[in-house]
Amino acid sequence: MPNKPKTKSARLDTVEPLGERVLIRKDEDKKVTKGGIELPDSIEIPNITGRIVAVSTQIEKDDNFPVRQYDRVLFNPKQAIPVEFEKDNCLFVVPIEDVVAVFRSSKD
């Protein structure tokens, strides 16, 4: 039998979204509302929040998209692509049209 070449497992250092996409770290799911109501695990929330981790070069250069790295956003997860980058992080590559709101403080 010929010797098989040893392959090193590739370690990812960064994830860069391409096209009109952003990389978002999803906020942790809340199991209890502010009013104290417990939510079932199976509840489907159509929009979720998170922080933008990375912005594609195309979005960064386009003034029509008012988002930047570290913005907290509300997004529709229907077309979001999950990325298994770090075990404890919930990262998603999201089309910019699915980012429906940006949270800003009055100082911005």
pLDDT of res. 10? 58
Task: Give the model confidence (pLDDT) of 18-60 as tens digits.
Answer: 999 999 998 876 666 667 666 666 556 566 899 999 999 999 9
Domain coordinates in residue numbering, the chain: 21-28+46-103
The β-bridge relationship of strands 48-55 and 72-75 is antiparallel
HSE-up of 97 (CA within 13 Å, CB side)? 3
Q: Which residues, 6 or more positions from 18, have their beta carbon under 8 angstroms from its beta carbon?
A: 56, 58
pTM: 0.72
d(C-alpha 49, C-alpha 65), whole Å: 18
Q: Quick: pLDDT tens for 49-102.
A: 999 999 999 999 999 999 999 999 999 999 999 988 667 668 999 999 999 999
Q: Which CATH class is domain 21-28+46-103?
A: mainly beta
φ/ψ bin of 63: left (φ > 0), alpha (ψ from -120 to 50), beta (otherwise)? alpha
